[in-house]
Structure 1
Amino acid sequence: MIKILHLSDIHIGSGFSHGRINPETGLNTRLEDFVKTLSLCIDKAINEPVDLVLFGGDAFPDATPPPYVQEAFAAQFRRLADADIPTVLLVGNHDQHSQGNGGASLCIYRTLAVPGFIVGDSLEVHKILTKNGWIQVITLPWLTRSTLLTRPETEGLSLEEINYLLIEKLEPALEGEIRQLDPNLPTVLLGHLMVDRATLGAERLLAVGKGFTVPISLLSRPEFDYVALGHVHKHQNLNKDNNPPIVYPGSIERVDFSEEKEDKGFVLIEIEKGRVNWEFCSLPVRRFCTMEIDVSTQADPEASILKYLAKKDIKDAVVRLIYKIRSEQLDLVNTATIQEALKAAHSYTIRPELVSQLARPRLPELGVGSNLGPIDALKTYLNNREDLKDIELELLEAAQKLLEGVSPKWEDLETPENASTKNQLTLLEF
């Protein structure tokens, strides 16, 4: 059996806004988080040991990361070369130039001829000799329209029609590579793809208009023993019968709050021709924690927020506090006090959301199909309007007169205590 470690979507250098500068190193703490998590993956590959590492693409946030970020990535993968573990680095959409040509951030490993490293920036079969035998890997990097189609071919077509043309071009190209396979060797397809059955994560809007969706039928081939995917940040197996497994390991770190509840990790695989076992291995990544509280009805909103925070475990987490509040309450909340209560967090953001007095929740009793009469309906409405309690009787009396066809005398209603009655009744008439 050949052992493989499959990881993807490292995105090292992302999420700096969720970190802070470490005064001892001068680096953003989120960069240090990503490096630490990547090092745990490499530790596992070396200590297991595995025979092959497959990286499913998106090493960095873009194709031209800063030198110190490239160095952090290279320092970890260099350990695989030192351990004599063959490694395939697939080019993802974030590894390409904006025009979609070439894997600028990864091709340096081919240029430098790093021992045992293969850069997958084209659709190609790679036969690799590992310590436990031969294996063949088909690399399928991120493909864009310009990769397979010319401008005249796509002119005037809808996105759906373009997607159909792209699949038409890809199918024979992939078939040509499959025909080159040795039927006696275990085979892995390594692709950076958006598959039509995938449940999306943070990458939902990252590649709109740049790539295309691949039908799962294109990947469910008997020639493949395992399909190793990258691009989608949520771990999932798209083929539950595992014939073959079609697996996204997901990203190894949380990129933003959209991934707050997702497990992060990598996949360990044991493979031979016609048989494969795989398992998802979780990584201990930093927690993201969203906390929401509505204090718009509280007399002391600051005290309510502090009481709420006291019950939460925020130590070393990336925290997002959202509290709903009325505009006239803003001065009742001291931001410095809230910040003090959040100091145990790794980092935090505080976001007040103003509650409009016009946008009140709908009352089920007043919904479609209600059998309440006009006066009973008005009573139900007024029971939920604390701000109208002082003029409730006047409103009911005026409404009754309207129903009876008697116009109320506004001069009788407009007193200091009920000056807003006229406006309220005007609204009721409509």
Structure 2
Amino acid sequence: MKFLHGADLHLDRSFEGLTNVKNAFQPYLMEANQKMLENIVDLAIAEDVDFVLLAGDTFHQHRPTLKTQQHFFAQMNRLAEKNIPVVMNFGNHDYYQSQRYWFDFPENMQLFTDETVATKKLQLKNGQEIAISSFSFDGPIIEAEKIDQFPRKTSNFHIGMYHGGQFPYAPFTTSKLAEKGYDYWALGHIHVPQMVSEMPPAYYSGTPLGHTKKEKNLAGVLLVEELAGKIKLQKVPVAPVVWQELTISLKEIRRSNQLLPYLVSRIAMTQPTLIQLKLTDNPTLAEEIQYQLASGELLETLNTSLPAEIFVTEVAFTSTTNERHYLAVDECLVDQLLTTYQSEAVFTEQLAEVNPKLQELLTADFQTEVLQNVQEKIKQAYRFRREKDVD
């Protein structure tokens, strides 16, 4: 026996926290929810699964748009044509209200539409009968635990499908799952994929498509196979767009005109990707990089230079590095150079070149402080030749 466990598809949900998305990337976002659902159906058909479980929040809201409904039912009919049953409950986002649906649920679908726990039977192609127990949200919250309403195991293979886990969204106590004797618990509501219990197997499949930058490293859907009484799980990604954090060291970059080509060469993805980019290790160009980041031009220019299927959502830069650049001169040279600027006339002349009004700041204390700061920064940024370095 083989089935798919999916949850929290949140069809109709938009991607959050994105601004100034380039035109070339917009189609990937607009079509992501539809493509994700198509990928799930494609997988179910390709694997010839016995059934599909949708464990709540299939829709992002309790009043799905007509466009979303139409696409969803078209995909469910694809499964009906392959005689693949779908068992579905409704969560806190898409809590069930029958009048919201403008299309008929196909005959291959069995729905839990009430907050009272019920049990449905499925007859598989090989003649095996299985039981699935579940409930649905009729409103946005359920404060009480529902686990006590679940019957004990009644079939050779019994599945519990439960959307919730945290107050006020149908909380449950993990220890009570084992009391029911079920063979598998298909959980929904938590977007991060996780195992709640190994025995009995109880899993949150997580959301298949990340709609915010926090939703990374997703499992997709779970392909569950029962072999000789043992459960085997496989995580199958189905997201057409993913989020990724990427850190790029700029240690090798010496000039600003090297920066953009280097970044473009280092950012290569195999599918449409939203990237949070972090740049490190370049104190030499730190001021210029920070300036271009503050103006927004580095982010904009980078995105226009990258392929259409890549969009950088944000860029952060840290110039801290454990390595100081090496200069093949003695450290005493720094003191010798600064000695020149200890002359009041030379120091005043340099201030005037920057801005004539800065001469008004000139005092003995100001000059001393500036030269000390320059000396400290130079010695912090560079390593110098020592006597033993000299041949």
TM-score, length of structure 1 as denominator length: 0.61
User: What is the identity, as a one-letter code, of the residue corresponding to 2:112?
Assistant: G
The one of 200, 210, 214 equivalent to 1:258 is 214
**Paired residue for 1:178?**
151
1:211-222 to 2 correspondences below 5 Å? 211=169, 213-222=171-180
CA RMSD of aligned residues (A): 4.4
Q: Secondary structure at the match of 2:312?
A: strand
For 1:304 and 1:194, locate their aligned partners in 2 and report how far apart those are by CA, in whole Å.
48
Q: Contact 1:20–1:347 (CA<8 Å) still a contact in 2? A: no
**Paired residue for 2:70?**
71
1:258-337 to 2 correspondences below 5 Å? 258-270=214-226, 275-283=229-237, 285=239, 286-292=241-247, 300-301=255-256, 303-314=258-269, 316-322=271-277, 326=287, 329-330=291-292, 337=301
Q: Contact 2:4–2:221 (CA<8 Å) still a contact in 1? A: no
User: What is the identity, as a one-letter code, of the residue corresponding to 1:192?
Assistant: H
The one of 124, 129, 149 equivalent to 2:117 is 124
Where structure 2 has 5 or more consecutive residues not aligned to the other structure, the ranges are 280-285, 323-330, 343-360, 375-391
**Paired residue for 1:87?**
86
Instruction: Describe the shift of the 1:354–1:326 C-alpha distance in structure 2 as closer, same or farther (beyond 3 A).
Output: farther
Residue 271 of structure 1 and its aligned partner are, at CA, apart by: 7.5
Residue 229 of structure 1 and its aligned partner are, at CA, apart by: 0.8
Instruction: Describe the shift of the 1:418–1:65 C-alpha distance in structure 2 as closer, same or farther (beyond 3 A).
Output: farther
**Paired residue for 2:183?**
225
Q: Secondary structure at the match of 1:115?
A: coil
Q: Give per-residue Cα distances to partners, 1:64-108, cap 9 Å, x unaligned.
A: 232212222221112223333332111122213xxxxxx248973
Q: Give per-residue Cα distances to partners, 1:306-344, cap 9 Å, x unaligned.
A: 3133123135432335466648733796555423322x1
The one of 95, 99, 114 equivalent to 2:106 is 114
Q: Contact 1:54–1:87 (CA<8 Å) still a contact in 2? A: yes
User: What is the identity, as a one-letter code, of the residue corresponding to 1:338?
Assistant: L
Q: Contact 2:92–2:141 (CA<8 Å) still a contact in 1? A: no
Instruction: Describe the shift of the 1:291–1:279 C-alpha distance in structure 2 as closer, same or farther (beyond 3 A).
Output: closer
Q: Contact 2:273–2:310 (CA<8 Å) still a contact in 1? A: yes
Percent identity over the alignment is 19
For 1:350 and 1:22, locate their aligned partners in 2 and report how far apart those are by CA, in whole Å.
14
Instruction: Describe the shift of the 1:414–1:235 C-alpha distance in structure 2 as closer, same or farther (beyond 3 A).
Output: closer
For 1:16 and 1:332, locate their aligned partners in 2 and report how far apart those are by CA, in whole Å.
21
For 2:149 and 2:270, locate their aligned partners in 1 and report how far apart those are by CA, in whole Å.
54
For 1:52 and 1:323, locate their aligned partners in 2 and report how far apart those are by CA, in whole Å.
43
Q: Is 1:234 aligned to residue 192 of structure 2?
A: yes
Residue 143 of structure 1 and its aligned partner are, at CA, apart by: 8.7
Q: Contact 2:190–2:204 (CA<8 Å) still a contact in 1? A: yes
Residue 59 of structure 1 and its aligned partner are, at CA, apart by: 1.3
Instruction: Describe the shift of the 1:353–1:105 C-alpha distance in structure 2 as closer, same or farther (beyond 3 A).
Output: farther
1:143-158 to 2 correspondences below 5 Å? 147-148=142-143
Residue 130 of structure 1 and its aligned partner are, at CA, apart by: 1.4
User: What is the identity, as a one-letter code, of the residue corresponding to 2:303?
Assistant: Q
Instruction: Describe the shift of the 1:308–1:73 C-alpha distance in structure 2 as closer, same or farther (beyond 3 A).
Output: same
User: What is the identity, as a one-letter code, of the residue corresponding to 1:268?
Assistant: V
For 1:258 and 1:419, locate their aligned partners in 2 and report how far apart those are by CA, in whole Å.
45
Q: Secondary structure at the match of 1:39?
A: helix
User: What is the identity, as a one-letter code, of the residue corresponding to 1:117?
Assistant: M
**Paired residue for 2:9?**
10
Q: Contact 1:126–1:138 (CA<8 Å) still a contact in 2? A: yes
User: What is the identity, as a one-letter code, of the residue corresponding to 1:252?
Assistant: P
**Paired residue for 2:158?**
187
For 1:176 and 1:47, locate their aligned partners in 2 and report how far apart those are by CA, in whole Å.
36
Instruction: Describe the shift of the 1:419–1:238 C-alpha distance in structure 2 as closer, same or farther (beyond 3 A).
Output: closer
For 1:146 and 1:269, locate their aligned partners in 2 and report how far apart those are by CA, in whole Å.
32
The alignment covers a number of residue pairs equal to: 327
After TM superposition, the runs of 4+ consecutive aligned structure 1 residues lying more than 6 A away are: 17-23, 360-363, 421-424
Q: Give per-residue Cα distances to partners, 1:254-283, cap 9 Å, x unaligned.
A: 3333233334232223379xx342321423
Q: Contact 1:192–1:230 (CA<8 Å) still a contact in 2? A: yes
Q: Secondary structure at the match of 1:95?
A: coil
User: What is the identity, as a one-letter code, of the residue corresponding to 2:148?
Assistant: E
Q: Secondary structure at the match of 1:46?
A: helix
Q: Secondary structure at the match of 1:4?
A: strand
Q: Contact 2:112–2:118 (CA<8 Å) still a contact in 1? A: no
**Paired residue for 1:133?**
128
For 2:194 and 2:321, locate their aligned partners in 1 and report how far apart those are by CA, in whole Å.
39
